[in-house]
Structure 1
Amino acid sequence: MIKVAITDDHPIVVDGLTNALSSGADILLSGVYSNAASLLKGIQQQPVDVLLLDLQLPDKNGSELVPILLQQYPSLHILILSGIEASPYIRDMMQRGCKGYLVKSRTNQAMLLEAIREVASGAIYLDASLKEDLLREMLVARRRSEKSRLRITLREKEVLGLILKEYNNPAIAEALCISLRTVETHRYNLMQKLEAKNTASLIRIATELGLHY
């Protein structure tokens, strides 16, 4: 049996979660708390396996509360259930040790029960759209971190600047007074260095990296 506690200060949300959990034969609702203080006191007396936690409580926010909980209860599996769906919040909570993150407006009963069972087993749970957002952010961050290591020559910067202005190869050659073959070489080198498959992806990656030459 998976023992679950709910911490949320909205009675309507709590009622909905309580009803949803009642359909899980392997899930037992062990406690309901409306703030951080009552939660910290309650789970000391009534330990749980999974905590459904709202990020915005009257007395503490999630970033303050999660480290306290995990320091006192290292084996606690925290599943965030929040109205906030901004990637920085999600990434922050996962980095602080939460096992899953659900957005209230996109979570149905089946997803909630699945998430509880997943995190209780030790797995990480994020719905598909959140995973996609985080992976995209991680990719952009990786590319930005590699920006300083790029060996882009002055001429390549000039070519890239004109590509970003949507110049074609002949127009670039004319603007820089170089041969068309030289432009093609610079464009090829840029695509290799930025790992771009075509001009559209070259422009997108350069923009993400802030390469506005």
Structure 2
Amino acid sequence: MNKTQIKILMTDDHPMIIEGYQNTLLSTKKEDQELIIDIAANCEQSIKAITKSIAINAPYDLFFFDISIPPTEDGIYQSGVDLASYVRRYVPDSKVVLLTMFNESYRIHNIIKNIKPDGFLIKSDITASELSSAFQAIINFPPYYSGTVNQILKKTLSTGLDVDEVNHEILYLLSQGVKNKDMTHRIHLSLSMIEKRKKYLKEIFNITDGKDDSLVIAAKKAGFV
């Protein structure tokens, strides 16, 4: 039987987790699949493996990136998201899977918009069965999002509210306690424009008391933060 070789790079700074991923994929792969799995513990090791594979014209077929991993020594690559962006630019035919512990709506929406990962898995969702199913789906019919990611996406879509990317970021910053004057350093808008957008958000979320805290509570209930 001719086997399909799949080259995989897994990047995670927790040895037990990455060992578990490896064992699961190797034990549940299809008979016609041959998996070659390399591992990296941080951005430094990962970017070296990626650039080397490109240099020898043997790129990886699939990448698993934990989002929260130690940065490169030069600070250029700070997370798995940065590595995913690099792969999207230089190895566009490869598939990218992002894994994380966080489940904040804004960050999830932002990553899906900017990276368009072939797989997005919340670690608390992952069982051996889930990982196995995700792997086969990503290889054959991407994208695959784990349950929590899908719930967040469905919740915000079901509201029918017009919350664009900038307004979504304003809601996120408000939920983090960022003051209006400090938002101008995070968003390329004037203070008056930020105030106008907040006013609009309070209108569509039906905030009658005018309080920012009430807006944050309503946005959380609707799944936007």
Instruction: Confirm or deny: 8 A CA contact 2:64 2:98 kept in the other structure.
Output: yes
CA RMSD of aligned residues (A): 2.5
Amino acid at match of 1:100: G
**What SS is found at the alignment partner of 2:161?**
helix
Q: Which residue of 2 aligns with 1:159?
A: none
Larger displacement relative to structure 2 (126-135 or 101-110): 126-135
Q: Which residue of 2 aligns with 1:62?
A: 80
Q: How many residues align?
A: 153
What CA distance in whole angstroms lies between the structure 2 residues aligned with 1:207 and 1:69?
Answer: 39
Amino acid at match of 2:98: I
Q: Which residue of 1 aligns with 2:217?
A: none
Question: Which one of 51, 54, 62 corresponds to residue 63 of structure 2?
Answer: 51
In the TM superposition, residue 16 of structure 1 has moved relative to its aligned partner by 1.1
Instruction: Confirm or deny: 8 A CA contact 1:80 1:102 kept in the other structure.
Output: yes
In the TM superposition, residue 116 of structure 1 has moved relative to its aligned partner by 1.5
Q: Which residue of 2 aligns with 1:114?
A: 133
Q: 1:145-171 CA distances to partner (integer Å, 9 max, x unpaired)?
A: 59xxxxxxxxxxxxxxxxxxxxxxxxx
Give me the TM-score of the superposition, normalised by structure 2. Answer: 0.60
Give me the TM-score of the superposition, normalised by structure 1. Answer: 0.63
Question: Which one of 2, 12, 15 corresponds to residue 8 of structure 1?
Answer: 12
How do residues 73-88 of structure 1 correspond to structure 2 at under 5 angstroms?
Answer: 73-88=91-106
Is 1:104 the counterpart of 2:119 in the alignment? no
In the TM superposition, residue 54 of structure 1 has moved relative to its aligned partner by 0.1
Percent identity (aligned): 22
In the TM superposition, residue 97 of structure 1 has moved relative to its aligned partner by 2.2
Larger displacement relative to structure 2 (22-31 or 64-73): 22-31
Amino acid at match of 2:46: L
Instruction: Confirm or deny: 8 A CA contact 1:102 1:126 kept in the other structure.
Output: yes
What CA distance in whole angstroms lies between the structure 2 residues aligned with 1:16 and 1:70?
Answer: 26
**What SS is found at the alignment partner of 1:212?**
coil
Q: Which residue of 1 aligns with 2:44?
A: 37
**What SS is found at the alignment partner of 2:35?**
strand
Question: Which one of 103, 106, 112 corresponds to residue 94 of structure 1?
Answer: 112
Indicate how the Cα distance of structure 1 residues 56 and 145 shifts in structure 2: closer, same or farther if over 3 A, else same.
closer
In the TM superposition, residue 115 of structure 1 has moved relative to its aligned partner by 1.2
Q: 1:74-112 CA distances to partner (integer Å, 9 max, x unpaired)?
A: 011111122122222222222222111111122011211
Larger displacement relative to structure 2 (55-64 or 68-77): 55-64
For structure 1, the residue ranges without an aligned partner over 5 or more in a row are 147-205
Instruction: Confirm or deny: 8 A CA contact 2:12 2:66 kept in the other structure.
Output: yes
Q: Which residue of 2 aligns with 1:186?
A: none
Higher helix proportion: 1
**What SS is found at the alignment partner of 2:63?**
strand
